[in-house]
Amino acid sequence: MSSIPEMMERIVDYSKIITIEPDKRSGKACIRGLRIAVSDVLDYLAGGMTPQEILADFPDLTETDIRACLAYAADAERRFEIVQP
């Protein structure tokens, strides 16, 4: 099993993989300009699909793309803030 510092070194830099374009998927975060949204991949994973099953269904994706979706979601969660009235 890897240590936390080793794991942190392997986290994908999603900034070159996750794209947001107003004319694709209504501006949702997508993977490499494809019409596959990050939320789609996260929904598939949450629904119980394995990364291997997703890759089989979407041959344009890579394992790095899936890891980028997870890194993007983790980063979004870190930035989420509840504003008190």
pLDDT in tens, 33-62: 999 999 999 999 999 999 999 999 999 999
- Per-residue pLDDT, 2: 64
- Structural domains in the chain, CATH included, are 4-75 (1.10.10.10)
Mean pLDDT of 21-25: 93
Q: Between the CA atoms of 29, 40, 32 and 20, what dihedral angle is there, to the nearest 10 degrees?
A: -10
pLDDT above 60 for 4: no
Looking at every residue in the chain, the average pLDDT score rounds to 89
- Per-residue pLDDT, 74: 92
Angle in degrees, 0-180, between the axes of helices 63-79 and 38-46, rounded to the nearest 10? 100
